[in-house]
Amino acid sequence: MDRRTLLKSSGMLIGALGLAPLASRTAFAAPAAAPATTPANALVVPSAKTPLLLNFNENSLGMSPKAQAAVVSELPKVFRYPDDARADLVGKVAARAGLTDKHVVIGNGSSEVIQMAIHAFCGKGTQLVVPDPTFNYAELYAEPMGTKITKVRLKPDTLQIDLPAMKKATESFKGQSVVYLCNPNNPTATILPASEIEAWINSAPDNVFFIVDEAYHEYVTDPRYASAERLVKAGRKNLVVARTFSKIYALAGLRVGYGYAAPEIVSKLDTWASIDNTNLAGAVAASASLDDTPFIKQSLAATAQSRRIVTDALKELKLAYLPSHANFIFHRVNASSADYRAAMKVRHVMVGRPFDHTDGWNRLSLGTPDEMRAFVRELKALRAEGKA
């Protein structure tokens, strides 16, 4: 089930989102202040009015102070179109990768970048090859176009993406294949080594195109990982690398994403982009976020601390989990996944969502350290009740 469907089906969650913001969220009216969080080691108590939202992989710190200030300063200009702000963002994104503006496409979230690629390269007579499970928006965009969807199960022993099996699927198909790779993968938070991805992309025939979704790129520290942007820099014309400002930069609500690709590919993608797909607030917030190094360090440190809090508890409770290279953890529960989510929901903690072939597992978003301490208390309470 995708996020959009889950939101429509969960009246309780929608109601919760419409209430006053959590204490850990940033207050819009204080642009010069640091992200608003509860005091260190404060007691967070989930309630109907302030549930723990640990199911959409958001950054609970809220946007950076520089991003807030940028948005507020631009409010008097919202009657103008955001062309200049968008151009500034494109330039910054390109410069950070050592690329030109012509190598960058901007989207209404990275999901639109994925949608552009699907529209440009999929259709009747083509196939989309995806890991199973993975972030499923590529499938949702491709299916109405008559594209054949070929799902390749994760390796059963490690839950890693099975690249050899995906490659085999493209080799047995005569038409155009589009390969979607989420790295780190969602929902497992596992990574594909750069050597494996690059070997395939560099040797792939002309009828195979790659969408490499790096929504969680900034969280990865494993030396086996490298962004596929370096393949774009090397001149490869068979891929687009999708990124987002929704995760580490905490701008999920402003919907800003981008992609790296060869200029010829960017031109094709832009054909399918919605006109004026970047709003002024999102553009200036994203540009300012790129400059706020202290906030990025704070986000990474908070995520690392939250991860330790959770993994220590999972070890104590003897619940298996996969190594996490993102801002979420995929872990075992001693119940069906649906029962576990329901039991947590009763306790005002929203965890995970359904993913195929993963019953008995849960994807847990990492909130602030204080939020994760609250989660651990609720998890242990459920264990005492025999529900986790």
Residue 37 has pLDDT above 60, yes or no: no
| C-alpha distance from residue 224 to each of 183, 190, 202, 232, 257 (Å) | 12, 12, 17, 19, 25
The label of the residue with tokens 């242990």 reads 380
Q: Which of 327, 331, 333, 332 is nearest to 306 (CA)?
A: 327
Cβ count within 10 A of residue 220: 18
pLDDT in tens, 315-369: 999 999 999 999 999 999 999 999 999 999 999 999 999 999 999 999 999 999 9
Alpha helices in the chain (DSSP H): 3-9, 11-17, 65-74, 83-97, 110-121, 137-142, 163-171, 194-203, 229-233, 263-271, 280-291, 293-316, 337-346, 369-384
pLDDT in tens, 213-263: 999 999 999 999 999 999 999 999 999 999 999 999 999 999 999 999 999
pLDDT at 7: 46
Highest mean pLDDT among 41-45, 200-204, 381-385: 200-204
Q: What is the set of domains in the chain, with CATH numbers?
A: 3-64+293-384 (3.90.1150.10), 68-291 (3.40.640.10)
pLDDT at 388: 85
| C-alpha distance from residue 301 to each of 39, 149, 333 (Å) | 16, 39, 27
Residue 34 has pLDDT above 60, yes or no: no
| Residues 135/182, Cβ–Cβ less than 8 Å | yes
Largest CA distance in the chain: 59
User: Could you give the angle at the alpha carbon of 253 between the alpha carbons of 250 and 256, nearest 5°?
Assistant: 75
Question: What's the chain's average pLDDT?
Answer: 91
Strand bridging mode 328-332 / 361-365: antiparallel
Q: Which of 231, 210, 220 is nearest to 131 (CA)?
A: 210
pLDDT in tens, 155-200: 999 999 999 999 999 999 999 999 999 999 999 999 999 999 999 9
Q: Which two tokens stand for residue 301?
A: 């440190």
